[in-house]
Amino acid sequence: MKKIVFIGAGSLVFTKNLVRDLLTFPAFSACTISLVDIDEERLGYAKKTVEQIIAAGQYRAQVEAHTDRKDALPGADGVVCTILAGGLNVWRKDIEIPKKYGVDINVGDTRGPSGIFRALRTIPAMLDICRDIERYCPQAIVLNYTNPMAMLCRAMQSETNVAVTGLCHSVQGTAAMLARWIGAPKDEITYLCAGINHQAFYLDFQWNGKDAYPLIREAMNDAKIYNEEQVRNEMFLHLDYYVTESSGHNSEYNAWFRKRPDLIEAYCTHGTGWNPGEYAYIVKGYEKRQSDWRAQMQRWMDEPIDLKRGEEYAASIFNATIGDGTLFKFNGNVRNTNLIDNLPGGCCVEVPVLASRKGLEPIHVGALPSQLAALTNISARCEEMAVEGALTGDPRKIFHAVCFDPLTSAVLSLNEIKSMVDELFEANRDYLPQFKHLS
């Protein structure tokens, strides 16, 4: 009987959806679901939700709950990680301190000054989890959903022997959105997507074997479609390839959309998609959910159980590697071992990966178009410096990583960046024991 461990199971939406998907595969219908969270109340809600799914599907699966992952990991075949290191009180500082200096951030969980400091807090926790996996279940397949995806995966894959990849639903989600825009059924769309997390691009996008990019470009003439994703659509119209992650995220990753108030007004406030790009969008939403999370969790638990498999990759990956062995290709985050020719060797890239009983095998892509390589190289190299700084406790590396962040460097001088980074270090003092100078 297979055993799948969910670390950070109090992230109830992820846990609910991933468990639902997993149990749709016969190989896991009688598995053990082991839930782990340090918050006992959230853990209790997660356990009740999984029990509801098991009952609704009449599965033979079992569920257990633990506050200590060491009680859950022994014998695990697969591990899913959805943790948050540090609460809202420090996460807010990641957004508010840069804003004081003029760096306007929408999400702040992936790269740039806020993403980097989130990584500094989270990398030690992720490495501790991986070391426990090495000790208790070294053969387990590990799937990470925690951000900042690229920096965390880069650290885990270089510092441990765990078979880990990172997953982001923006690849399949954006493909479905583009299909909708051109009136194509999703199952008639094929694509090749590669780059780095949240800045991967569809190098080709086809409908029934024919290039669909002319149809996508034509769709931009519809104001309703253009306004749905203003930032991403501008990027496509000028860079010629469509990027995977939302306009809110991508408005932060370059210097074109958020460096001046008039640009924020033009591109980041009137979009009609799920994330219009407003300042501190995710923090505001998280703060609202924190205030009524018990009521929200109860509402989720009271909803009818939908047993239909969703679009997340995790369950299909587990089925391919430790289930019935059906091959499954997905986009995952892995180190660049001759996968993308014109991105730094060893950095974290998001490329097609084949899951099978042999494990996870990344697929060589080749070179990105030069304009995409120029854009993603900057972010990848900043991430490399940030990870090196996190692993060595070198604050100078962190400063340099922030210096070259495109949005930050478009807004601030070097001296202003240094002051901002110093203030971010001070706000994170209690979470960064690896930086000895803060002691």
List CB contacts of 215: < 8 A, sequence separation 6 or more: 182, 207
The residue with tokens 């659509």 is 233
Whole-number Å distance between alpha carbons of 345 and 41: 43
The strand pairing partners of 335, in sequence order, are 348
Give the least confident one: 142-146, 147-151, 250-254, 304-308.
304-308
Taking only the tens place, the pLDDT of each residue in 366-387 is: 999 999 999 999 999 999 999 9
Please report how many Cα atoms fall inside a 13 Å half-sphere around the Cα of residue 347, on the Cβ side: 22
Per-residue model confidence (pLDDT) at position 232: 96
Residue 276 confidence (pLDDT) above 90: no
Per-residue model confidence (pLDDT) at position 275: 61
Give the least confident one: 193-207, 295-309, 348-362.
295-309
Q: How confident is the model at residue 304 (pLDDT cuts 50, 70, 90)?
A: confident
Whole-number Å distance between alpha carbons of 131 and 1: 24
Q: How confident is the model at residue 13 (pLDDT cuts 50, 70, 90)?
A: confident
Residue 54 confidence (pLDDT) above 70: yes
Residue 203 confidence (pLDDT) above 60: yes
Taking only the tens place, the pLDDT of each residue in 108-124 is: 999 999 999 999 999 99
Whole-number Å distance between alpha carbons of 29 and 430: 43
The strand pairing partners of 340, in sequence order, are 366
Whole-number Å distance between alpha carbons of 243 and 238: 12
Containing 351, the helix (H) or strand (E) segment is strand 348-356
How far apart, in Å, are the Cα atoms of 196 and each of 86, 182, 228, 379? Answer: 25, 26, 23, 8
Neighbours of 224 (CB within 10 A): 9
Whole-number Å distance between alpha carbons of 2 and 57: 18
Taking only the tens place, the pLDDT of each residue in 389-405 is: 999 999 999 999 999 99
pTM, two decimal places:
0.96
Domain 87-108+167-279+312-439 indexed as CATH 3.90.1820.10: yes
Domain boundaries, the chain: 3-86+109-166, 87-108+167-279+312-439
The residue with tokens 């669909």 is 212
Q: How confident is the model at residue 149 (pLDDT cuts 50, 70, 90)?
A: very high
Q: State the DSSP code for 199.
A: E
Task: Identify whether 66 is a catalytic site residue.
Answer: no
Percent of the chain with pLDDT over 90: 87
Residue 16 confidence (pLDDT) above 90: yes
In this prediction, residues 156-161 reach a mean pLDDT of: 98
Cα-based angle 354, 356, 359 (whole degrees, multiple of 5): 85
Residue 59 confidence (pLDDT) above 90: yes
Q: How many residues does the chain have?
A: 439
List CB contacts of 47: < 8 A, sequence separation 6 or more: 35, 63, 65
Task: Check: CB of residue 355 under 8 Å from CB of residue 317.
Answer: yes
Q: How confident is the model at residue 294 (pLDDT cuts 50, 70, 90)?
A: confident
Whole-number Å distance between alpha carbons of 350 and 149: 10
Per-residue model confidence (pLDDT) at position 283: 87
Domain 3-86+109-166 indexed as CATH 3.40.50.300: no
Per-residue model confidence (pLDDT) at position 439: 53
Q: How confident is the model at residue 288 (pLDDT cuts 50, 70, 90)?
A: confident
Q: How confident is the model at residue 270 (pLDDT cuts 50, 70, 90)?
A: confident
Per-residue model confidence (pLDDT) at position 437: 73
Task: Check: CB of residue 180 under 8 Å from CB of residue 311.
Answer: no
Task: Check: CB of residue 217 under 8 Å from CB of residue 178.
Answer: no
- Which of 66, 169, 238, 270 is an active site residue? 169
Taking only the tens place, the pLDDT of each residue in 26-45 is: 999 999 999 999 999 999 99
Residue 286 confidence (pLDDT) above 90: no
Taking only the tens place, the pLDDT of each residue in 76-113 is: 999 999 999 988 889 999 999 999 999 999 999 999 99
Task: Check: CB of residue 359 under 8 Å from CB of residue 77.
Answer: no
Residue 344 confidence (pLDDT) above 60: yes
Cα-based angle 30, 36, 38 (whole degrees, multiple of 5): 160
Residue 289 confidence (pLDDT) above 80: no
The residue with tokens 């854009």 is 375
Q: How confident is the model at residue 422 (pLDDT cuts 50, 70, 90)?
A: very high
